[in-house]
Amino acid sequence: MRRFVSLLLALAAAPTPLAAQGVSVRVCDSSYGIFTPPRGPELAVVVASEEEASGEIRFDVEDDRGVRVCTFARAYSLAGGDSVRLGFAFDADPGFYRATVRDGGREIDRFRFGCDPERILSAVDAAADFDAFWAQARAELASVAPRYRLHLDKERSTAARRIYLVEMRSLGGEVIRGYYAEPTAPGRYPAVITYMGYDSEPWCPDADAAPERVELVLSHRGQGLNKSENRYGDWVVCGIESPADYYYRGAYMDAVRAIDFIASRERVDRSLIFAEGGSQGGALTLAACALDDRIAAAAPFVPFMSDFPDYLHIAPWPASALFAAAGRAGIPEPELLRTLSYFDIKNLAGRVRCPVLMGFGLQDEVCPPHTNFAGYNQLGGPKRWMVFPRRGHDVHNEPSWYAARDAFFAERIRKIRTN
């Protein structure tokens, strides 16, 4: 860790506190952010008081694993009606950090901030047979006849688009399903595949919402529309005994089979197939792009399944489930990590060549930003990211994300159509 240096304010001892019933402490918005060179982090608060008061503001900063890296403190003394801004600026290595702010013994806030995330180094740890492993999975998928079946949903369909429940067969002959929306007007259209989050409730596109495009919302094996047939139990631990049996070998192939289906439709412009999804859906989006070159651009957000060696030590889940399952099966941690390495988005990301827009919540405790960037930094094509400083694992509730995603896809459509 590069030495943290206080640039603005030296560590100071607080005077004897005075009664301060009217003191308010607000963390400045600028503290919730991503700091990139030449600007280093600056954490700041505004302290205000309705009456005479004194005390000490303290910032404790930890790394993602909860190891204390520095503490900054500064005394304040205010007359009634006064306020003061206290800032602490310093240098930090690339990474994400957690700050806890206290006014004396009173905790004010906890939050995460980031430093130069595109320089975070999470080494690729793919096994020697990684490429052969996925080539075999693709070959097995190709041997399965998809047997597409579409069932028109008359109630959801409108004059703009028809809505279907679609069924198809994937790896191992597994039947998977999704909701499919197709414009009624003649022509060929861009298509967007949405890969769903872990245990998400299935949802259907609004027939009138986007008549200019085809949409498929896929439910993966044992999840969503397929949950009544779930034979996997808790998906993230199913088959953890070996890479060949792990649940996500089939789930990643489900993502590819969805591309097969979209590419088979006459109303689809096959040069304009897009992918998006959040959390598990973000991982499946990136896996699809890595394992199939037909995706024109992708917009994953808060992606799951990345950088397991760090992930399992900085987030409570899925570590709790995976370590418990490994313990029951007598699997040591190195063997567990070797199995997971075949499905680690960090190891697949280098295969991705299409443009990618990634969204993430800076306060995400489920798929922390460190894990998002472990994969992002390995991507092999054009890329950019979008941060939501006060959001956690809930970027799906952020309208500006969807506006940015749609603009990103529209930009790609214009480029492809003009070339």
Residues designated catalytic: 279, 364, 393
In a 3-state reduction of DSSP, which class is residue 351?
Answer: helix
Of the candidates 15, 85, 83, 82, the residue with the CA atom closest to the CA atom of residue 43: 85
In a 3-state reduction of DSSP, which class is residue 44?
Answer: strand
CB neighbours (10 Å) of residue 58? 20
**If 0-12 CB within 10 Å is exposed, 13-18 middle and 19+ buried, where does residue 63 land?**
middle
How do strand 161-169 and strand 175-183 relate by DSSP bridges? antiparallel
Give the pair of three-digit tokens for residue 197.
């989050």
Of the candidates 30, 123, 34, 28, the residue with the CA atom closest to the CA atom of residue 359: 34
> What single-letter amino acid sits at 173?
G
| Whole-number Cα distances in Å, 188 to 65, 191, 193, 265, 294 | 49, 9, 16, 9, 16
CA dihedral 89, 91, 93, 99 (to 10 degrees): -20
Strands (E), 79-232: 83-89, 95-103, 106-115, 149-152, 161-169, 175-183, 189-195, 214-219
Q: Alpha-carbon torsion 351, 123, 374, 287, what sign?
A: positive
